[in-house]
Structures are given as C-alpha cells and as structure tokens.
Structure 1
Amino acid sequence: MLFSQLILFYSMWFKQIEKQFFHAEPIEWEMFSLDIESSVSTVTTIGEQVNQTGVRFVKNGEEFDIECYQSLIRKQKNRLGHEPMLTGLNSCKIQLIENQVLIKVEFENGRKEERTYEVSVSSQ
C-alpha cells in the first residue's frame, strides 16, 4: 500500500517537472520574439499586408514578409522560400499600429501569447 502511494506521488511530481523543464512552447515563443525584434528593429520601409496576415518590410535593400500561414508564422525573403518561424498555432494575427508590430497567437493547446515590437524606420 505504501509503495503504491509513493508511485502515485512520484508520477504526479514527474508530470510537474516535465511541464516546467520539457515544455518547449514558451522557449519557442521567446526565441521567435527575439527574432522578430531584431528583424524589425531597423527597416527602410514597413507596411501591413491585406487581411492583417502579416507585414512586409525592406531591410538592407531586401524585402521580407513575416506572415501567418496555415498553422505557423513564416518568413519569406523577396517573396521566395518559406522559413517557419513559429509552429503549432490555432490562430495568428499580425498588425502594424503606427510604428509598432503587434502579434497575437493561440497555440494548439489553447495557450495565448501577445507582444508588441517597436519598429525603427531609417533612411538608408
């Protein structure tokens, strides 16, 4: 009887540890946020795409799109390729509000995240 209680306690404890240390979603969100922040930190031009699916900006003479696409956020350079930046999404919304980019996401497990990124437009 005592042994079964120890096993139950251990399994509950392990699930809590697993949630905190092995759940990659918060880490992916923070890495994505750092990438977005550096991408829009200094741009020549920036504009919102139709339907608020993303933003298009010019940086160092090259055009980039960051947009919601199916269950992910992707980045394209010169409208070519498909670089996944954040995956496992139920919904996504990207807005340009004055000189800020607002990104709202809902992950497949229902967790929601929202962050605003400052855009610095410079003339090069």
Structure 2
Amino acid sequence: MVVIPPPARAEKITRYLKPYLLKMHFTNKFVHAQVVHTPTATVTSSASSQEEAFRTSMESTRDTSAAAKIGKLLGERLLQKDIPAVSVFLKRDQKYHGKIKAVVDSLREAGVKLL
C-alpha cells in the first residue's frame, strides 16, 4: 500500500494564509468540529458528539448545548497542543447563529483566540 502525502502549498501562499482553520459540520444527529492546519492540509484536532464519552453523558447530541460542549472540548484539546488561535471558516449558507455561535463562543471561553 502506497501512502501519498498531501500536497504542500508554496511558501508564498502560506505566508498570507491563517494557518489553523476551524471547520464545523452539523448533521441531523451529530455535531462535528475540527481544526485544519492549512499549509500541510492535515487535521490538527477534532471533537464530535459522536464520541463514546459524549453520547453517554449528553441528553441530545445535536442541539446547541451539545455544540457548546463540543466547542469547549475542542478548545481544551487545542490548548494542550499549544495552538492559541484559530480562524473560523463558515460556508456560504452558515450564519453566526445557533449551533455555530455556541461552538465559537465556547471556544472563546476555553481560552482560544479567534482571528
């Protein structure tokens, strides 16, 4: 089996990019959030309401309280990896409201700065 590494971007481009992007995905059942390191195109840290530890302790895995818990957990994981700041990537149809606001605000409360 041959493993192909992700393409590395030119230094000229990565100098102007924000290195860590927060991406969120919401389904009818779960909340997912991950931080991607853009120069290497790898996932640095992620959290999901689909994880075993969360499913047992939460009433619902898809509402705003679940999104807030996911943001708090992701913030703690980022600080353990010495990542103090991330930038938020919102898709065209995503607005800063509801679950997205819950994830971003709980990230801020955990101590991660948003660019």
Give the TM-score range, shorter chain. Answer: under 0.3
Highest relative contact order (Cα 8 Å, sep 6+), 1 or 2?
2
TM, length-normalised to structure 2: 0.28
Higher share of residues assigned strand: 1
Q: Which has the larger radius of gyration?
A: 1
